């Protein structure tokens, strides 16, 4: 198994506000023209970073006209475990019982760490119990989590998701020993380089990640991720509970030649979860240097970006900046165990399980339905001519660049981008943006296409 495994727990491009990429960037405008409903399909995004960025920006006072439009996110993932992660991570963002800083720390911990603090592990267990109720009873799902729509999932898929959530709910840490699994994956991936792994980690950071744009990832945090899977260590508490949400099963052959199901960590151990929120920011102060070293790191950038996004939500808008953004006006404090449903009463997140995109594309009910499709780098094969069947006349297709898949050489990245651009244009899409991939293969995060007719 290579350094990226067979399942992804996070994406490999910075979070986007997808509303910015809709044709003409208009949902509701001053002329009174409206799109009553917008459908967005996310293929193999692996985490809800783009949904989070989009939802929070919908709550910005500057976008009040947009917030009145019905927006449906269709989330297509190849593994049911990824559906569970979507639900949990979005739930942290929407949970009004959290303070701002606590919410950010809990989110990053669940998002990018193999080990959790005890309070976070307890939160996972508690929420898993509620998710089990929602998964087994769709009426209960609508009541507990009105933003989620599980109706497209088949019964057997919801049964499997229920089994995954029951594993998350468990408090037995002996059946998922992540530290041993992580070390085993490192030994398999590095081979003879394992004895000099610290030097290998730093070489990968400097010569691969920094070269591609991830300049603020510090040596210590990247080494922490590569060696033990802890990318965001924001508190001094002990990180000693396995993050069960990063577990997935695989079928192996045991000593008796029987095929058995084994649960372990089979995700990325190379790039890490830094890319989604932790490498790009509009705050130039976070790029300051001293002695030719960045003062701030990826955790600082991720914390700032999430802080700016979450401040747009109703329960965090009245935060007192003079108190380091930690005190909330009493009028805006909400009871625990509540979600920010008022902010997103017009939003639906519909989950779809499927490894065969073509089956999804042939559904008559999805014909000419989508305003925007975002395809991740490992789902680029879905950029197929049949994709045009589900797109509206004026619609957008975004394809993630594989530039942060650092096992790919620069010339391989350039070749993939050139191939994707040509395929999109062959299907009649207009391409926008930088195109000299051979000279600068790391210039773009996503390829932007427009279907004009």
User: Mind listing the pLDDT tens digit for each residue in 207-239?
Assistant: 999 999 999 999 999 999 999 999 999 877 789
CB of 5 closer than 8 Å to CB of 432:
no
Match 């929120």 to its residue by tokens.
277
> Environment class of residue 320 by beta-carbon count within 10 Å: exposed (0-12), middle (13-18) or buried (19+)?
exposed
User: Mind listing the pLDDT tens digit for each residue in 172-217?
Assistant: 878 889 999 999 999 999 999 999 999 999 999 999 999 999 999 9
Per-residue confidence band for 327, with pLDDT thresholds at 50, 70 and 90: very low
Per DSSP, 37 falls in state E
3-state helix, strand, coil in the chain (%, to 5): 45, 15, 35
Could you write out the DSSP letters of every residue in 380-402?
Answer: GGG--GGGGGGEEEEEEEEEE--
User: Mind listing the pLDDT tens digit for each residue in 305-322?
Assistant: 999 999 988 766 544 343
Q: What angle do CA 61, 63, 67 make, to 5 degrees?
A: 105
Please measure the distance between the N-terminal and C-terminal CA atoms of the chain and give it in whole angstroms: 43
pTM of the model: 0.91
Q: Name the residue ranges covered by the structural domains of the chain.
A: 18-332, 356-451
| Per-residue pLDDT at 332 exceeds 50 | no
Match 């519909």 to its residue by tokens.
350
User: Mind listing the pLDDT tens digit for each residue in 265-291?
Assistant: 999 999 999 999 999 999 999 999 999
Select from 104, 131, 106, 130 the least CA-distant residue to 116. 106
């Amino acid at each position: 198994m290579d350094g990226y495994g067979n399942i992804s727990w996070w994406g490999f491009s910075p979070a986007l506000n997808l509303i910015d990429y809709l044709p003409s960037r208009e949902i509701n405008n001053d002329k009174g023209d409206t799109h009553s409903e917008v459908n967005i399909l996310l293929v193999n995004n692996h985490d809800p970073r783009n949904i989070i960025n989009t939802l929070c920006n919908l709550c910005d006072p500057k976008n009040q006209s947009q917030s009145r439009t019905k927006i449906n996110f269709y989330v297509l993932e190849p593994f049911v475990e990824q559906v569970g992660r979507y639900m949990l991570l979005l739930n942290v963002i929407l949970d009004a019982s959290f303070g701002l800083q606590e919410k950010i720390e809990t989110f990053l911990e669940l998002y990018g760490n193999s080990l959790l603090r005890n309070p976070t592990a307890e939160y996972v267990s508690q929420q898993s119990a509620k998710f089990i109720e929602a998964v087994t009873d769709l009426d209960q799902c609508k009541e507990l989590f009105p933003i989620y729509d599980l109706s497209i999932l088949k019964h057997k898929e919801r049964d499997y998701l229920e089994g995954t959530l029951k594993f998350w709910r468990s408090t037995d840490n002996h059946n998922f020993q992540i530290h041993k699994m992580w070390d085993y994956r490192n030994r398999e991936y590095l081979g003879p380089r394992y004895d000099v792994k610290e030097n290998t980690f730093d070489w990968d950071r400097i010569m691969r990640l920094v070269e591609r744009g991830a300049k603020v990832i510090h040596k210590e945090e990247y080494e922490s991720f590569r060696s033990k899977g802890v990318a965001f260590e924001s508190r001094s508490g002990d990180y000693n509970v396995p993050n069960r949400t990063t577990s997935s099963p695989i079928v192996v052959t045991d000593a008796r030649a029987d095929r058995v199901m084994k649960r372990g960590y089979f995700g990325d151990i190379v790039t890490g979860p830094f890319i989604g929120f932790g490498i790009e920011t509009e705050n130039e102060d976070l790029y300051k240097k001293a002695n030719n070293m960045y003062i701030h790191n990826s955790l600082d950038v991720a914390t700032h970006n999430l802080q700016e996004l979450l401040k747009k939500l109703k329960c965090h808008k009245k935060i007192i900046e003079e108190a380091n953004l930690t005190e909330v006006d009493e009028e805006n404090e909400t009871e625990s165990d509540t979600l920010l449903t008022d902010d997103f009463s017009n939003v639906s997140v519909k989950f779809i399980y499927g490894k065969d995109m073509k089956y999804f594309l042939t559904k008559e009910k999805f014909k000419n339905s989508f305003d925007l499709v975002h395809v991740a780098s490992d789902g680029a094969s879905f950029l197929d001519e049949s994709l045009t069947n589900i797109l509206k006349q004026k619609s957008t297709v975004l394809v993630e660049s594989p530039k942060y898949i650092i096992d790919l050489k620069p010339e391989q990245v350039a070749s993939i981008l050139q191939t994707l651009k040509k395929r999109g244009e062959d299907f009649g899409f207009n391409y926008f943006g930088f195109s000299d991939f051979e000279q600068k293969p790391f210039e773009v995060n996503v390829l932007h296409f427009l279907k004009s007719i």
